[in-house]
């Protein structure tokens, strides 16, 4: 009980500081989140594999067709950052009692100027929520930020974060990193140019085909 109370107090203090520093108000996603969750009463919540995070998840609209044997629920939203997912935790993660949780955040955090250390601090806050409110044992999978043509100038920051994310995950029970960065690079370490829509940021089917192949082994 004391340990849980300490977590709550620490989380509260961290939240205050973190959201004070947040450049954009997470309420900008309120209507979208309400729309996403409006039909929750009609969905099957047994053995849920929950995918959540930013637009690379949101735009994976046919994710269920890739994994037809599993009960996949997609709760990606907007161009969210990790702090936004924390803000909407009670709407986008908690209600589903997921068997596994797959999270894609960090991409927009990096683009907004946050440091890898700041993103990992947010990951810790999110993980505390999951352990305290969902389950102490539910497997949590952090999908690495992907490479993209549009954000290739930030390559070194992405690489630093991905390395730090793997180290961080290795010290947390039940946390796994899913590397989608590496398979999206050619043999010279340059991102494949044909994996994206016209904005050179969001993926087309070729990009999601790579993701599906990488993620599939973690579903069973």
Domain locations in the chain as residue ranges: 2-218
pLDDT surpasses 70 at 66: yes
Residue 11 or 115, more confident? 115
DSSP 19-78: HHH-SS-GGGGHHHHHHHHTTGGGS--SSEEEEEESHHHHT-TTHHHH-TTSEEEEEE-T
- The answer to whether residue 22 scores a pLDDT higher than 70 is no
pLDDT grade for 6, boundaries at 50, 70 and 90: very low
Q: List residues bridging with 185 in a β-sheet.
A: 191
Report how far residue 88's alpha carbon sits from residue 35's, in angstroms, rounded to the nearest whole number: 13
Tell me the mean pLDDT in the region 189-196: 98
Task: Report the alpha-carbon distance of residue 10 to residue 6 in Å, rounded.
Answer: 6
Nearest CA among 113, 123, 129 for reference residue 143: 123
Q: Which one, of 91, 151, 101, 153, lies nearest residue 123 by Cα?
A: 101
Whether domain 2-218 has CATH 3.20.20.10: no
Q: How confident is the model at residue 39 (pLDDT cuts 50, 70, 90)?
A: confident
pTM of the entire predicted model: 0.90
Handedness of CA 144, 211, 172, 90 (dihedral sign): positive
User: What pLDDT, in 10s, does the model give residues 128-178?
Assistant: 999 999 999 999 999 999 999 999 999 999 999 999 999 999 999 999 999
């Amino acid at each position: 009980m004391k340990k849980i109370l300490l977590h709550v107090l620490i989380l509260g203090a961290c939240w205050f500081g973190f959201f004070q520093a947040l450049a954009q108000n997470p309420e900008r996603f309120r209507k979208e989140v309400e729309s996403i969750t409006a039909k929750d009463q009609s969905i099957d919540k047994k053995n849920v594999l929950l995918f959540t995070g930013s637009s690379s998840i949101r735009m994976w609209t046919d994710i269920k067709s890739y994994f037809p044997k599993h009960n996949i629920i997609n709760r990606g939203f907007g161009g969210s950052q990790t702090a936004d997912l924390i803000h909407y935790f009670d709407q986008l993660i908690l209600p589903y009692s997921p068997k596994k949780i797959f999270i894609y955040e960090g991409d927009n955090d990096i683009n907004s100027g946050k440091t890898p250390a700041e993103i990992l601090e947010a990951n810790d806050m999110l993980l505390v929520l999951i352990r305290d409110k969902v389950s102490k044992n539910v497997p949590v999978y952090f999908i690495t930020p992907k490479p993209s043509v549009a954000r290739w100038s930030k390559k070194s920051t992405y690489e630093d974060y991905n390395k730090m994310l793997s180290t961080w995950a290795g010290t947390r029970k039940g946390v796994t990193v899913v590397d989608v960065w590496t398979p999206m690079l050619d043999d010279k370490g340059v991102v494949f140019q044909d994996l994206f829509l016209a904005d050179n940021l969001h993926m087309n089917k070729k990009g999601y085909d790579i993701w599906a192949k990488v993620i599939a082994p973690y579903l069973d």
